[in-house]
């Protein structure tokens, strides 16, 4: 089983719908991240959390929100999805040693029509 699990893996939705992407991890890491990947743009950080009560905005947080329900769970919400949020979303974890090394989930492909 994957150490970092994302659900759903694929989702097609319509403009204006609320969408939640979920991430859970069994690595025991304190830090969790949500990234968005777009062709030619690489990975961009949406939100990150260093602990259950810690939430931080990343480079592109507008239009997104997150919830850190437990050490092992970090969910990303799109309150009202729009077509330019069509992308591949990755959850990642890291330990607290500040090395920067990330462990990625398998990705959630979201299409907003």
1 is a site residue for another protein (CB under 8 A): no
Structural contact between residues 4 and 102, judged by C-beta atoms closer than 8 angstroms: no
- Least Å distance, CB 106 to another protein, is 5
Name the strands in the sheet holding 19-25, side by side, starting at the edge strand that comes first in the sequence.
4-7, 19-25, 73-78, 65-70
Residue 5, H or E segment: strand 4-7
107 is a site residue for another protein (CB under 8 A): yes
> Binding pattern to another protein, positions 26-55, x when CB under 8 A?
-----x--------xxxxxx--x-x-----
> Binding pattern to another protein, positions 87-106, x when CB under 8 A?
---x---x-xxxxxxx-xxx
């Amino acid at each position: 089983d994957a150490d970092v699990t994302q659900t759903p893996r694929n989702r097609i939705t319509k403009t204006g719908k609320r969408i939640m992407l979920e991430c859970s991890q069994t690595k025991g890491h304190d830090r969790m991240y949500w990234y968005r990947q777009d062709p030619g743009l690489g990975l961009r950080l949406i939100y990150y959390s260093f602990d259950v009560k810690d939430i931080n905005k990343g480079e592109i947080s507008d239009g997104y929100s997150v919830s850190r329900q437990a050490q092992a769970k970090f969910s990303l919400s799109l309150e009202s999805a729009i077509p330019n949020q069509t992308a591949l979303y990755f959850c990642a974890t890291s330990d607290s040693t500040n090395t920067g090394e990330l462990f990625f989930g398998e990705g959630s492909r979201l299409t907003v029509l």
